[in-house]
Every structure is written in C-alpha cells, then in structure tokens.
C-alpha cells in the first residue's frame, strides 16, 4: 500500500506492508502524475515505518521512482523508518551512493519527535543527525 499527499513542504509518501513490483510501478506512475504540478523546488517526507523489505528488483523500481522526484525538483528528503538496523543500512547506503547530502534517515523507534525533525530538515535544512 502507498499514498502520495501534497503538503506545504512538497510531498508526503507513505509505504506500508508488502509491495510487489507491480504496485511499485503503479506508485511510480502516480508519482509522475503528481509531479506534473510540483513547484520548482520541494521536499519529500517518506514514511517507511510499516514497509516490509523489498527484493532487489523491487528496490530498482523504487530507485527509479525516487529519481523522478529528484529530477522534478526535490531538494531534500526525509525517510522515516522503525528498525535501527534498516536505518543504519539505509544511512550507510546513502553515504556510499552520494545522496546523503540531501537525504536523511530518521529512526522513529528511537525518537518521539521524528516528524518535527523530518519537517525541520525539509523546510529549514536543520540536520537531524546533529540534534
């Protein structure tokens, strides 16, 4: 399951449960439609707290979908996870791939104010890693 919502800072995307390649492709197509009316620059909050692990093929579709957001004007993103292990893994991958400059991973399981930290990063560039 997924949702795409417009917000004051840009978009909030929620992923939950098991998402197969077909559903991820549907999300990517819906994202392209949503991005047609996006401002020149915007932020994206991605809530993955309830998402199950993705296969390698599903991860490829997810990366392609994320690229649409970046190409459309995304300047920052906050990714919210529950698992400490997944948070560390995604943070490491972001640093290795070079996207860490504009993307932050926040473990909602270790902080009560994860939403505010995410929005502060998106709107004001306040880095949650240094709070």
Integer angstrom CA distances of residue 81 from 22, 27, 33, 75: 23, 19, 26, 20
Please tell me the predicted confidence (pLDDT) of residue 61.
87
What distance in Å separates the CA atoms of residue 80 and residue 68, rounded to the nearest whole number?
Answer: 19
Mind listing the domains of the chain with CATH numbers? 2-130 (3.30.750.24)
Q: What is the model's pLDDT at position 28?
A: 95
The answer, as to whether pTM is greater than 0.85, is yes
Residue-by-residue pLDDT tens, the chain, 131 positions: 999 999 999 999 999 999 999 999 999 999 999 999 999 999 999 999 998 888 878 878 888 888 899 899 999 999 999 988 788 877 877 787 678 889 999 999 888 999 999 999 999 999 998 87
pLDDT at 54: 84
* Token duo for residue 56: 């390698």
Give the whole-angstrom CA distance, residue 30 versus residue 106. Answer: 25
């Amino acid at each position: 399951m997924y949702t795409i919502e417009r917000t004051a800072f840009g978009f909030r995307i929620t992923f939950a449960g098991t998402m197969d390649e077909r559903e991820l492709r549907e999300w990517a197509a819906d994202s392209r439609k949503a991005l047609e009316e996006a401002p020149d620059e915007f932020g994206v909050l991605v809530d993955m707290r309830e998402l199950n692990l993705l296969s390698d093929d599903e991860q490829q579709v997810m990366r392609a979908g994320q690229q649409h957001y970046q190409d459309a004007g995304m300047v920052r993103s906050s990714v919210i996870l529950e698992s400490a292990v997944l948070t560390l893994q995604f943070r490491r991958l972001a640093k290795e791939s070079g996207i860490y400059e504009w993307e932050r991973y926040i473990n909602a399981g270790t902080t009560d104010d994860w939403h505010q930290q995410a929005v502060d990063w998106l709107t004001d560039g306040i880095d949650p890693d240094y709070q």
